[in-house]
Chains A and B, each alone.
Chain A
Amino acid sequence: ILNVEQSPQSLHVQEGDSTNFTCSFPSSNFYALHWYRWETAKSPEALFVMTLNGDEKKKGRISATLNTKEGYSYLYIKGSQPEDSATYLCAGGGSNYKLTFGKGTLLTVNP
């Protein structure tokens, strides 16, 4: 089983702050790295899928980077808004179908 760790476990920021959190995974047997956003009472929503070392993806104010050699990915949120409040899940794939999820980072953005 691929071991995926996320940090921090939770984070409180003020509206307008930029923030980032980390996902780490074993660099061996890596296939893909997924980021999802999970808002309360909703389904997890896909943000990014990255496969290549050095990949950078961006969606509005949210971006992510991938370093497969050292086994980590960063998710950045620029100018956080209250609607960004959610749990952000990272998932690593050691094979192309099986994903291992981290425990998530709970982000709370205070207005």
Chain B
Amino acid sequence: DGGITQSPKYLFRKEGQNVTLSCEQNLNHDAMYWYRQDPGQGLRLIYYSQIVNDFQKGDIAEGYSVSREKKESFPLTVTSAQKNPTAFYLCASSDSGGQTQYFGPGTRLLVL
């Protein structure tokens, strides 16, 4: 089945630790996105990638890093510089800009 997978479903981070959230798609989409959801807020864009080996900062990129070495994969690293990482993280992809985005099931990150 075509779709987007995210792993793990839950992730626990210790103080000062970097953690990486996985996002994989088999929809053959060029564009991929990472969003963060906090209670009472809309989804906020962290990073997006229009094409392999290219990515741009979204509205809240500080404390995060990404890579796009393969079309299918867009992992997000939450670094120790992100002081408030507890949130629900959603990955999405689209055929191109402005088109419908398809979302994964999300990863909930908690800090120990």
Contacts of A36 in B (CB 8 A): 103
| Bound Cα distance A89, B100 (Å) | 13
The answer to whether B98 and A96 have CB atoms under 8 Å apart is yes
Contacts of B50 in A (CB 8 A): 97
The answer to whether A98 and B102 have CB atoms under 8 Å apart is no
| Bound Cα distance A89, B31 (Å) | 20
The answer to whether A97 and B31 have CB atoms under 8 Å apart is yes
Say yes or no: is B45 at the interface (Cβ < 8 Å to chain A). yes
Interface majority SS (helix, strand, loop, mixed), chain B: loop
Least Cβ–Cβ distance between B22 and chain A, in angstroms: 15
| Bound Cα distance A98, B59 (Å) | 9
Interface string of B32-62 (1 = CB under 8 A from A): 0101000011111100101000001011000
Say yes or no: A89-B42 contact (C-beta < 8 A), given A43-B106, A44-B90, A44-B103: yes
The answer to whether A102 and B45 have CB atoms under 8 Å apart is no
Contacts of A44 in B (CB 8 A): 90, 103
The answer to whether A49 and B42 have CB atoms under 8 Å apart is no
The answer to whether B99 and A49 have CB atoms under 8 Å apart is yes
Contacts of A102 in B (CB 8 A): 42
Please pick, from A4, A31, A45, the residue contacting B98 in the complex, using a CB distance under 8 A.
A31
Task: State the interface size on chain B (CB cutoff 8 A).
Answer: 27
The answer to whether B106 and A98 have CB atoms under 8 Å apart is no
Say yes or no: is B86 at the interface (Cβ < 8 Å to chain A). no
Contacts of B63 in A (CB 8 A): none
The answer to whether B101 and A34 have CB atoms under 8 Å apart is yes
Question: Chain B interface (Cβ within 8 Å of chain A)?
Answer: 4, 31, 33, 35, 40-45, 48, 50, 56, 58-59, 90, 96-106
Question: Chain A interface (Cβ within 8 Å of chain B)?
Answer: 1, 4, 31-32, 34, 36, 42-46, 49, 51, 89, 91, 93, 95-104
Beyond A93-B98, A98-B45: 6 further Cβ-contacts under 8 Å?
A1-B59, A31-B98, A43-B102, A43-B103, A96-B98, A97-B56
